[in-house]
């Protein structure tokens, strides 16, 4: 973040979800007034390429932890068909237990901070959705897979649970974020190349949301935080887009009007 702020010449830089220290891949940065859009970007599904190593469970569910020493009662080295069947069993809506070393808050503290002090941390299961999960490569003990998951899903917890279902134990050893919604890694700019010229318009990160077109006069009204009339039914969130593909505001359609909730173009 500090390097991005220096390159862009502003402190108003935010991100839409951190990566684990050993992970690589896509990180969406929002600049200036666009930092207000973070929650809309974070609500999108994310795609990861991951590697789980079978045979050992760790305290953190990934390669940064210590082996738990737990013994598993599986039949031995699973075959490819067994791994594929186990991966398919995770598809759909379910509940997941986050890692004890996650950034989840527990009684006002980060779970990982308490776990590192040696406390026993038990986090409640949370609802998640696994939209897609495919086996990319299997060479025991490594299972490389690609997962598209809902916000709040821990891929290292998927690796842990895969090991549980196979009866071998497992932990995550590599992770690369490939996409957030329609934003893909191959479209990204390397950190060393970040500059004001590399910025994309705010509309580019919210292409998944419905939009309404507004006139220049309506854009000015929205800049003052005023609602503008519309006959559409109740929908939220909705983008208000002015001529020139300018994202003016994000808000809701309700009661015969568009009500701005996040304003990108403040009236002068």
Whether 20 is catalytic: yes
Angstrom distance (rounded) from CA 39 to CA 45: 13
State the chain's maximal CA–CA distance in angstroms: 70
Do the beta carbons of residue 249 and residue 261 sit within 8 Å?
Answer: yes
Angstrom distance (rounded) from CA 178 to CA 209: 20
Angstrom distance (rounded) from CA 199 to CA 95: 37
Q: Which of 20, 61, 62, 161 is catalytic?
A: 20
Do the beta carbons of residue 13 and residue 198 sit within 8 Å?
Answer: no
Do the beta carbons of residue 124 and residue 18 sit within 8 Å?
Answer: no
Q: Which helix (H) or strand (E) holds 113?
A: helix 111-116
- Tally Cβ neighbours within 10 Å of residue 111: 21
Q: Distance from CA of residue 241 to its chain's centroid?
A: 25
- Any idea which residues carry the catalytic annotation? 20
């Amino acid at each position: 973040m500090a390097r991005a702020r220096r390159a862009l010449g502003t402190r108003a830089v935010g991100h839409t979800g951190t990566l684990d220290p050993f992970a690589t891949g896509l990180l969406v940065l929002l600049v200036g007034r666009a930092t207000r859009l973070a929650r809309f970007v974070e609500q999108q599904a994310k795609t990861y390429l991951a590697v789980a190593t079978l045979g050992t469970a760790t305290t953190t569910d990934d390669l940064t932890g210590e082996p738990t020493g737990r013994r598993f009662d599986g039949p031995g080295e699973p075959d490819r068909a067994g791994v594929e069947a186990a991966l398919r069993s995770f598809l759909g809506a379910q509940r997941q237990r986050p890692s004890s070393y996650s950034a989840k808050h527990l009684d006002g503290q980060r779970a990982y901070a308490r776990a590192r002090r040696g406390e026993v941390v038990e986090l409640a299961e949370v609802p998640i959705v696994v939209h897609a999960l495919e086996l990319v490569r299997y060479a025991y003990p490594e299972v490389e897979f690609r997962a598209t998951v809902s916000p709040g899903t821990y891929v290292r917890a998927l690796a842990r649970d895969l090991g549980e279902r196979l009866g071998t134990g497992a932990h995550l050893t590599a992770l690369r974020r490939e996409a957030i919604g329609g934003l893909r890694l191959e479209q990204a700019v390397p950190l060393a190349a970040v500059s004001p010229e590399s910025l994309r318009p705010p509309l580019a990160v919210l292409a998944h949301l419905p939009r309404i077109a507004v006139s220049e006069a309506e854009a000015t009204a929205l800049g003052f935080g005023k609602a503008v009339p519309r006959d559409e039914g109740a929908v939220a969130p909705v983008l208000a887009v002015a001529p020139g593909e300018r994202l003016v505001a994000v808000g809701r359609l309700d009661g015969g009007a568009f009500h701005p909730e996040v304003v990108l173009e403040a009236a002068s």
